[in-house]
């Protein structure tokens, strides 16, 4: 429910004509806080330091004062987030494949 309420800031930014990459960063902030916030204990600690609504409000103010000026920061954040997501998915798969190959390869003596 908190994530839905957080979308009000994103909607306000959209209405004010924020750049699409800026809106994507704001949505990513909310999704990241919601996803990590769902993990017991770790999510609570993450929420103390992340605070997506404050970040999104600062982005909204930045966009109002300097329209479309610092979108490079938004791109860097989104690319970094995507690299992190791909790594979080790929690393366990690679480890699983490596473990299976070493088990199957070790049984062929």
Per-domain boundaries in the chain: 2-106
Q: Per-residue confidence at 107, pLDDT binned at 50, 70, 90?
A: low
Task: Please give, one letter per residue, the 3-state secondary structure of the chain.
Answer: CHHHHHHHHHHHHHHCCCCHHHHHHHHHHHHHHHHHHCCCCHHHHHHHHHCHHHHHHHHHHHHHHCCCCCHHHHHHHHHHHHHHHHHHHHHHHHHHHHHHHHHHHHCCC
pLDDT mean over 80-88: 93
Q: Bigger pLDDT: 85 or 73?
A: 85
* pTM of the model as a whole: 0.74
Give the pLDDT confidence of 15-52 residue by residue, as tens digits: 988 889 989 999 999 989 888 888 899 888 888 888 88
């Amino acid at each position: 429910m908190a994530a839905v309420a957080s979308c009000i800031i994103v909607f306000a930014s959209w209405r004010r004509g924020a750049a699409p990459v800026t809106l994507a960063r704001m949505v990513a902030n909310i999704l990241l806080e919601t996803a990590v916030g769902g993990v017991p204990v770790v999510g609570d600690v993450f929420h103390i330091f992340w605070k997506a609504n404050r970040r999104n409000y600062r982005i909204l103010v930045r966009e109002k004062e300097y329209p479309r000026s610092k979108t490079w920061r938004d791109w860097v954040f989104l690319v970094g987030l995507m690299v992190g997501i791909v790594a979080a998915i790929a690393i366990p798969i690679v480890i699983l494949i490596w473990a299976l190959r070493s088990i199957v390869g070790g049984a062929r003596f």
